[in-house]
Amino acid sequence: MAGIRKETHMGMGHKYGPWAYTSLKEPKLSAELARMAGANLVGDTYSLSFQPFASSDSENEDRFTIMDLKINGRLWRLRGIFDGHSGPLVSTYIASHLPSRLHRALAALPKLDNKSITQTIRTIITQLDKSIISFVQELFPSQSYIARLSDDEIRRIIKEDAQHGSGSNRLMRGIQGSTLLLSLVDPEGKNLWVASLGDCQAVLLSKLPNGTWESSLLSSYHNASNPVEVTRLRSEHPGEERDIVSNNRVLGMLAVTRCIGDLPYKLPAIYTSRIFPRIHSDHPHSTTALQQHILPLLKTPPYLSSDADIRHVDLLARGATSHYLILYSDGLLDLYNNETPANVAARAVQVVTQALHFKSDLALAVLMDGLGHTSSRPESHPKIDLEKVSRMMTVEMMEKYMDDTTVLVEKIR
């Protein structure tokens, strides 16, 4: 990679580092960022997924889908981001199975109206979560069954199942998790559905007949820093109000309040005390950490929900001449430090509006701003610190220093 070698403390002060990095100039900088993030344009959708830290045991856990579903001879546009945590197995599972399951379910509907479509999306998402649970319960169907087993018998069941297929992967999948953000557009581009589970975000940008732009945040923020979600959790678990959320995390460990997977938070405590510890995992949220931190608190699971919030938007209601849908994982939120989800959404809108003017790659513009913004507040002309972008791309740290970040920007009409 051609560039000038420099050193940085990554804004942490002289107590940490310094670490080497490569300073890049344009146009090499944008080209290299596009390569590293796999920036692409598929039909009407710009896409990328970025994780600069390369390590065999720290891969990018985000997955996304860009797919058109043919129903009654017409194409419905499906887009989605699945932000895995504690490993990539659940996000990979969703990306592999959700599109085909949703396709079959929608094709079977006698009438494709808003109510039916909304309920179908909700049901498919819930069924995906239940299928992950059922894989575990096929081997260990009940608390009483587990209680009768010795530790050696549990190990034998796990080993035998692994020898006959993907048993260890199915169990490992159970202790991993993923958020979900999904959009569906009808063939005419008149109706949009957005389903959210977790803390990824969806922002609709619409150009009105008078030439002005308006935007709306369509996703929910299912995170333990959201007071609405904290209130819901505490009301569902009376008597556990003090422990249910601490340090903006469910049971002190998990940031999201709704997701697919993460069965230690959903199944009775005996699964976490006896089954999951027999599965190898080196992740900080491994079963050892779970045992130490949440096992004493597992009184009335489930503590996590797979009930998605689904929004329907009539795209013709305001007479807009064009629409762009911006989807991104919470890695983008992290890049803006302590900004609110609403402010990050407003910033993304400003960046995309400017990128449209310059006919730039829309997803790459959003990522570039996240990496190199000089101000995190919404601006009419966002400015980029290219040296900061270089540092974030190339710094030679020995551990993962930023979250996986995935961005999709779709032109709807």
* Tens digit of each residue's pLDDT (9 = 90 or more) over 285-299: 456 667 778 999 999
Number of domains in the chain: 1
Predicted TM-score (pTM) of this structure: 0.95
What is the spatial distance between Cα 24 and Cα 9, in angstroms, rounded to a whole number? Answer: 17
* Domain range for 51: 4-139+176-222+258-262+304-412
Q: Is residue 245 a part of any domain in this protein? A: no
> Mean pLDDT in the chain?
93
What number of other Cβ atoms are within 10 A of residue 196's Cβ?
A: 25
What is the tens place of the pLDDT at every residue in 344-372?
999 999 999 999 999 999 999 999 999 99
**pLDDT tens sequence across 119-171:** 999 999 999 999 999 999 999 999 999 999 999 999 999 888 777 665 557 88
What do you get for the CA distance between the two ends of the chain, in Å? 39
DSSP state of 218: -
153 within some domain: no
Q: Would you say residue 119 lies in a domain?
A: yes
Does a structural domain hold residue 242? no
Q: Is the pLDDT of residue 380 over 70?
A: no
For the domain that residue 368 is a member of, what is the CATH number? 3.60.40.10
3 state SS of 405:
strand
- Is 15 inside a domain boundary? yes
- Reduced to 3 states (helix: H, G, I; strand: E, B; else coil), residue 178 is strand
Give a yes or no: residue 50 inside a domain. yes
Q: In this structure, are residues 262 and 176 in contact, taking their beta carbons and an 8 Å threshold?
A: yes
Tell how strand 405-411 and strand 322-328 pair up.
Answer: antiparallel
Rounded Cα distance, 89 and 174, in Å = 9
The confidence score (pLDDT) of residue 284 equals: 44
Where do the H-state alpha helices sit in 20-88? 28-37
DSSP type of residue 87: S
In a domain, 287, yes or no: no
Cis ω on the peptide bond leading into residue 341 (within 30° of 0)? no
Q: Confirm whether 150 is domain-assigned.
A: no
